[in-house]
Amino acid sequence: MMLANGGVLGLMHKDLPQPMRPAAASWRIATLLFAGGSILFAAQGLNPPGYTLVLANGLVMFGLTGYLRALRQFYGLQDQLWVVVPAVLGTLALFWLTLVSADAGGRILVVSAVWSVLMVASIVLLISQERRDGARSRRVMAALFTAVAVFVMFRAGYYIALGVNPAFSVLGAGAWMNVATPMVAATLPVIGTTAFLLMCSERIRRQWERAASTDYLTGLPNRRTLVEMGEQRFDHARTSAPAGGFALAVVDIDHFKRINDEHGHEMGDVALKHVAARLQSACRGAELPARQGGEEFVVLFDHLTPQNAHAAGERLRNAVAQMPFVAGELVLPLTVSIGVAVLVQGDTSFDSVLRRADEALYAAKAAGRNRVEVAA
């Protein structure tokens, strides 16, 4: 099953997005190492038992190291030397305890310690990604590592209580534990590989959802998201008691065509990013800035009254006007004109509020630009 899962992951490798491929490759190699160790354990009666035990345990420990490395790569963390240290030290210790001192109890403690360190590191990493990655598959993976880690610690305690001696045989006293160990350990490469593929699948789905709802240039919500959120907030404001509080501002960059004509469209794109960042920095709480299209943005407000509508618009205008656009040696003062509309009784839809804010924007343009007008 381990070999089959590793093979399936290999077949799917090229179908994964480029950023996920290093993690998938590490996970596949780790699964194959795990499988190799398992094969050696199964065939230890056909080979010199001392060398076979060292090599088999070493492959499994490096397999667990590979899983930790794959998870770190999946979450964009850089490779670090400490990740391989437990497996290296564990393999050297096993060599001594198996071929030199023949200490079965020490060998079991070393293997349990290395397994525990590597799995606890994987658990901590998975738990630390809770805010960034709410996928259920990540929780399944963390639970899987936790279950195996608990079993390994219990196994070590069981053998310590049993009093393992140098003549200990895996087929003698405590044999039931030796049957249970590979069955439990195999859940990592078998079930774990399925969970890892689900983690990849869920990330791809989230990326597509984000791409469908986000403006590719500025990173702000796009028009589709703006309309969805605007309609939701409009309906909530209409049905809540007391009604009202919903408002929006239409923001347009002044003389943007001149930037494109004089400095090129690439510089215009950078200017759009600059304004988007300034608007985002000026928003508070649940206020939502979005790109409507071209050089036009919309900001959704909650709990905004007609009395403070102008001040909210001025906050946005000042955020752009007070920080000039700088790109290399080019320094351009940018300004925006803003039209603000607050929900009134005559508004029947989100579009009607947007239309009134648009009219206020045209009034601001006509009055000289770099100013805020509030719709009547």
Residues assigned a catalytic role: 295
Neighbours of 16 (CB within 10 A): 19
Q: In terms of Cα–Cα distance, which of 315, 371, 302, 369 is closest to 342?
A: 302
Q: Which of 238, 350, 240 is nearest to 300 (CA)?
A: 350
- Is residue 325 classed exposed, middle or buried when 0-12, 13-18 and 19+ CB atoms within 10 A define those classes? buried
> Which two tokens mark 130?
């809770």
Pairwise CA distance, residues 150 & 29, whole Å: 25
**DSSP character for 218?**
T
Residue 324 to residues 66, 191, 216, 278, 335, Cα–Cα distance (Å): 49, 54, 23, 10, 9
Here the tokens at position 268 are 């215009």
Of 308, 315, 245, which Cα lies nearest the Cα of 281? 315
Amino acid at 107: R
Rg (CA), the chain: 31
Tell me the three state secondary structure of residue 158: helix
Range 194-199 contact pairs with CB under 8 angstroms and sequence separation of 24 or more: 194/5, 195/137, 195/140, 195/141, 195/144, 196/9, 196/24, 196/27, 196/70, 196/74, 196/137, 196/141, 197/9, 197/12, 198/135, 198/137, 198/140, 199/74, 199/133, 199/135, 199/137, 199/138, 199/141
The CA-based diameter of the chain, rounded to the nearest angstrom, is 95
Q: Which residues contact 110 (CB under 8 A, 6 or more apart)?
A: 90, 93, 94, 97
Q: What angle do CA 74, 77, 82 make, to 5 degrees?
A: 115
The H-assigned helical ranges of 103-222 are 104-128, 136-162, 175-185, 187-213
